[in-house]
Structure 1
Amino acid sequence: MNHLEGKIVVITGASSGIGAATATALSAHGATIVAAARNQDRLDALVGEIHKAGGTAASRVTDVTDIDDVRALAEFAVGTYGTIDVLVNNAGLMLFSSWKDLAFEDWGRMIDTNIRGYLNSIHAVLPIMLEQKSGHILNMASVAGHQIGESAGVYSATKFFVRAITESMRKELGVHHGIRASTISPGVIDTGWADKVGDPAGREAAKELNNLAITSEAVADATVYALNQPANTTVNDLVISPTRQDW
């Protein structure tokens, strides 16, 4: 049975990688997509592809680190489609560096996006879900939120945070309000993130990891599985990683 038909799904970080693949996959299952990211051209291309395939989608340029911008995204979704059934909290940064590099700017960027950005999005959609007494918040986590690798201390910390708040939401919002909370924890995915690493040594390490990476579509399929469950079933944390990844 398809439980996604007609659901209104807001996806952050939707312009590329996991977000774009997830938008496409959910649309193919009958969901209506509200795609959010900072790149208008990529959002337009994504919405165009969804429409071409017979789906329904709209987009809004959004910076998840700006609470007013995220509130406006939620208002846009409700104004366009009437409600929000699902939030896929996906916008994120993974920047590698050693502690000795003192990569303070990279630390701040990850904290702003991976922590504050997730909280901003939850804050914006939760009142809607509480009022309708239903909803599903899926936070994109990482295997780095299960164990810590070299040069990934701050990134791992942000993903441990994501897992912690999701489990808290599951116990509070799920048990008492019927609002489900899930995480997907991907392993190494080739989404072009390696090119965003500012530290040269970290960038090389990231490119090495990409040699064994799986695709964004594989993570999108896992996301569809987690979201396409009956209301009495919650996928708490689904880990998906390359077969040859040894951590």
Structure 2
Amino acid sequence: MNNKEQVIVITGASSGIGEATAHKLAGHGFKVVLTARRMEKLKEIKDTITSNGGEALAIAADVTKVEELHEVVRKTKSKFGKVTGWINNAGLMPLSFVEKLKTDEWNTMVDVNIKGVLNGIEAVLPSLIDNHGGNIINISSSAAHRFFPGGAVYCATKSAVMMLSEGLRQELAPKYGINVTSIEPGATSTELMDTITDEDILEKLSSMKEMTMLEAEDIAEAIYYTLSQPKRVNVNNLYILPSEQQ
């Protein structure tokens, strides 16, 4: 499919990987739909894209509220006539040691990192089936492959996203031509660590500041690669680490 024919919805588009992906795709002719809770930030990104000649739509939505994601699909189709891809990027990483019982943070991670992905799939899947094709890209993490201290719940959520992606691929790609990809980044310089409240974890992570981490643009490049493949090609998993990460 020609880039100009693609209409891609990006959740968590107000910063980090989502924002970088929006700029990357729009710069290559994709129509992008930006969604997150921070409408003011979304509007700034949209305005930058349109001022550079791209096409973008900004819609405020919370991924934990499935009806809001259905509304994103409705507004996208009203504006662009269709939706051809969905990037489940919204996520949280409030790491903590289990013994501290930060159960509110556990539940929030489950709601955003797992249920938010499922809500996105529920909202977009009927449209992709009607299209007889499209892409679902789920942002998992290297944490789906390896446990690290304080990551028990976070790693579990990202492992769920990775396995969900494979299940979706097996069910949807052969029958409907819907390609499904799990993107699994290692340490990336984004706002993700801003949600950590466990001081012991923050102390342990301080050593990571000495490592050259991935940039959001590196993940955006991987997403662009995935969406640029012919329909016959399904990129199952992209596991991306900083060169210095062990």
* TM-score for both structures, normalised by structure 2: 0.96
Q: Which SS does the other structure have where 2:4 is aligned? A: coil
> Which residue does 1:144 correspond to in 2?
143
State the Cα deviation string for residues 151-176 of structure 1 (Å, max 9, x = none): 10100101110011110111110011
Is 1:188–1:210's contact at 8 Å kept on the other side of the alignment? no
- The separation in 1 between residues aligned to 2:100 and 2:149, in whole angstroms, is 13
- The separation in 1 between residues aligned to 2:205 and 2:193, in whole angstroms, is 5
> Which residue does 2:245 correspond to in 1?
245
* TM-score for both structures, normalised by structure 1: 0.96
> Which residue does 1:195 correspond to in 2?
194
- The separation in 1 between residues aligned to 2:10 and 2:191, in whole angstroms, is 19
Query: Does 2:174 match 1:175?
Result: yes
User: Match for 1:230: what amino acid?
Assistant: P
Q: Which SS does the other structure have where 1:35 is aligned? A: strand
State the Cα deviation string for residues 190-240 of structure 1 (Å, max 9, x = none): 102222112122233344334421110011111111111000001100111
Q: Which SS does the other structure have where 1:183 is aligned? A: strand
Structure 2 counterparts to residues 25-174 of structure 1, below 5 A? 25-174=24-173
- The separation in 1 between residues aligned to 2:231 and 2:218, in whole angstroms, is 24
User: Match for 1:47: what amino acid?
Assistant: K
**Pair 1:216–1:207, CA change in 2 (3 A):** farther
Shift of 1:53: 1.3
Shift of 1:80: 1.0
Shift of 1:145: 0.6
User: Match for 1:79: what amino acid?
Assistant: S
Unaligned runs of 5+ in 1: none
User: Which stretch shifts more, 13-22 or 100-109?
Assistant: 100-109
> Which residue does 1:215 correspond to in 2?
215
- The separation in 2 between residues aligned to 1:153 and 1:210, in whole angstroms, is 22
Query: Does 2:231 match 1:231?
Result: yes
User: Which stretch shifts more, 205-214 or 151-160?
Assistant: 205-214
User: Match for 1:134: what amino acid?
Assistant: G
User: Match for 2:234: what amino acid?
Assistant: T
User: Identity of paired residues, percent?
Assistant: 36
User: Match for 1:216: what amino acid?
Assistant: A
Is 1:189–1:210's contact at 8 Å kept on the other side of the alignment? no
Is 1:3–1:230's contact at 8 Å kept on the other side of the alignment? no
- The separation in 1 between residues aligned to 2:4 and 2:78, in whole angstroms, is 20
- The separation in 2 between residues aligned to 1:207 and 1:28, in whole angstroms, is 35
Is 2:15–2:191's contact at 8 Å kept on the other side of the alignment? no
Is 1:34–1:60's contact at 8 Å kept on the other side of the alignment? yes
Shift of 1:3: 4.4
- The separation in 1 between residues aligned to 2:57 and 2:204, in whole angstroms, is 37
Q: Which SS does the other structure have where 1:60 is aligned? A: strand
Unaligned runs of 5+ in 2: none
Shift of 1:41: 1.1
Is 1:190–1:210's contact at 8 Å kept on the other side of the alignment? no
User: Match for 1:153: what amino acid?
Assistant: A
Q: Which SS does the other structure have where 2:154 is aligned? A: helix
User: Which stretch shifts more, 88-97 or 210-219?
Assistant: 210-219
- The separation in 1 between residues aligned to 2:157 and 2:232, in whole angstroms, is 29
State the Cα deviation string for residues 84-134 of structure 1 (Å, max 9, x = none): 101010000011111111110110110000001000000000000111111
- The separation in 1 between residues aligned to 2:58 and 2:43, in whole angstroms, is 7
